[in-house]
Amino acid sequence: DNVMRARGPCSTYGCGSDSVFEVKSLDGMSSIGSIIRKWNGLLSAMGDADHFEIHFPLDLDVKMKAMIFGACFLIDFMYFERSPPQHSSR
């Protein structure tokens, strides 16, 4: 069952700015929190480390908190991880 909705920027490759993903209720009326991939300057383009901030109310249900953390991992893998190059066996 769907319990929340995460919406991010149209492009996640913006140089010089953070990528903010808003986490809202299914109807979009109330904000639950946010997941932010922090821009680390030019070093982030050279390295493989990503830095995220997760914001949510302290009194949020623990299952919802766990889902936001899971969404952070999914966002990282879907939008910010590169596939390793495929080596041919020739």
Are 52 and 72 a contacting pair, CB within 8 Å? yes
Are 33 and 3 a contacting pair, CB within 8 Å? no
Q: pTM of the predicted model, to two decimals?
A: 0.79
Rounded to an integer, the average pLDDT of 32-42 is 88
Confidence of residue 17 (pLDDT cuts 50, 70, 90): confident
Give the whole-angstrom CA distance, residue 54 versus residue 35: 5
Q: How remote is the C-alpha of 4 from its chain's centroid?
A: 14
The first and second tokens of residue 3, run together, are 């319990």
Q: What is the pLDDT of residue 47?
A: 66
